[in-house]
Amino acid sequence: MRFNSLQFAVFLPIVLVLWMVLRGRARQVFLLGASYTFYATWNAPFLLLLWFTTLLDYYCGLRIGATDRPSARKGWLATSLAGNLGILVYFKYGNFFLENVAFISNVDPTPFYLDLVIPLGISFYTFQSMSYVIDVYRREIAPCRDLLQYSLFVTFFPHLIAGPILRAGQFLPQLHREDPVRQEELLRGIELFLVGLFLKTAVADNLAVVVDRVFESPARYSAPTIALAAIMFFTQVYCDFNGYSTMARGLGWLFGFRLPRNFDYPLLRWNPLLFRKSWHVTMGNWFQDYVYRPLGGSAKSDLRFAFNLFITWTLLGLWHGASWHFVAWGVSNGIQLAVYLVVLRRKTWTLPDFTGKRFCGWLINFSLWIPGAIFFRAQTMGEAGVLLKRMFTGAGGFGMPWPWYALMGLLAAIHFASFRYYNEDLLERSGWPARVALVSGMALLIATLGATGRTFIYFQF
């Protein structure tokens, strides 16, 4: 069930009204059942995997909290990690592993392929559930002794499929709230959901039509067209994923939960570090806390520091998908960030301030996004190679009509204006006539410009 589907338009009001009528524990039981129903509409048998992950980490968390013996604590942590990562590797990376072994051994992998469907949202809810066990092991939170509340933490439907990735310390305390949802929370929830729906249906899905056409036949298009298509894809991914995250946050407000912000205007950041800190924030924080820091973090040695960044980003690239072009995307990001940060912490000079300094930094960042977008969007390394070669050699071919360039300029202006003036509280600050006009106008824009039928890009991860 997608947020941008008619099915969800029926599901949400029913769930929201019944949830408001109920009180106490009955409310939590109902919301958990609604979340399982939401997931089951995609593929009901995969609820078994969701239940397995939930029960495994709930029990491991209890056992870790019940003992002070280091060996026992490590054993239960290892059990959780092995169970979660084992399932994730089997479903998401099994065929990728077989293909690479077959390539090295020159054996046809076809007879050994696993006939698998990757469970929807498995990378998100697995990482979220693992983070709980790790935090209990580190004694950063107490183990949750209420299976209902822990299950709701893992399964709460707004963030279940594609994040934001929650931490137990963020979500579980909110389950103790008893006061009703306030008017300003409902207004903010409606506003965020409509903004996210607009980003997804009116912007991302319309750009996808052009992007798909260029990337499906790169040999036909000119270098400027490929570059513009890469920029369009980057914008598409941003609006698609930020749209989902914004809708999820809006749904959270409707039910009285505050979900973390996942994007903080990354397209306007002027250096690699700020960009990566503001893009998919909850995933970046997850890898920082559970991969980068355990590796040694900001080690004194520049070589070790760069190595830690490189490994973290390589794994983050692999998290996005079982393909070498995702690995290449992660590696390129890791190299860029490592070079930037090593130079930054070792330099003994400072660039003088001048008008346009941040714009120059943004322009350098922008020039690195384009090849990164190509690695991310291409289906194979060979396809990425064709696209990059044609773009950097100035190849000729079909051009892009000028209105598309104008549209991208208009979107950039709107995005900058949003950064300067929009605080996600227009409905809250407006009177009722203005609220009606704003909601009606946004609904009309979505109905007029919105494309339908496309799933969210990050559902595949």
Q: Just list the catalytic residues.
A: 320
Angstrom distance (rounded) from CA 56 to CA 309: 31
Which residue in the block uniquely carries the two structure tokens 């994007």? 263
Which residue in the block uniquely carries the two structure tokens 């389950």? 175
Using a CB cutoff of 8 Å and minimum separation of 24, what contacts does 421-429 make? 424/188, 424/191, 424/192, 424/195, 425/188, 425/191, 426/191, 427/187, 427/188, 427/190, 427/191, 428/184, 428/187, 428/188, 428/191
At 108 the three-state DSSP class reads coil
Are the C-beta atoms of residues 289 and 216 closer than 8 Å to each other?
A: no
Angstrom distance (rounded) from CA 365 to CA 82: 38
Are the C-beta atoms of residues 220 and 162 closer than 8 Å to each other?
A: no
Burial profile 420-436: b = 16 or more Cβ within 10 angstroms, e = fewer = eeeebebbeebeeeebe
* DSSP-assigned beta bridge partners for residue 221: 398
Backbone angles phi, psi at 430, to 5 degrees: -100, 155
At 100 the three-state DSSP class reads helix
* DSSP-assigned beta bridge partners for residue 398: 221
The interaxial angle of helices 147-155 and 24-43, nearest 10 deg, is 40
**How remote is the C-alpha of 383 from its chain's centroid?**
24
Structure token pair of residue 317: 């690239």
What is the secondary structure of 168-206 as a DSSP string? HHHHGGGGG--SPPPHHHHHHHHHHHHHHHHIIIIIIHH
Which residue in the block uniquely carries the two structure tokens 């056992």? 63
Backbone angles phi, psi at 221, to 5 degrees: -115, 155
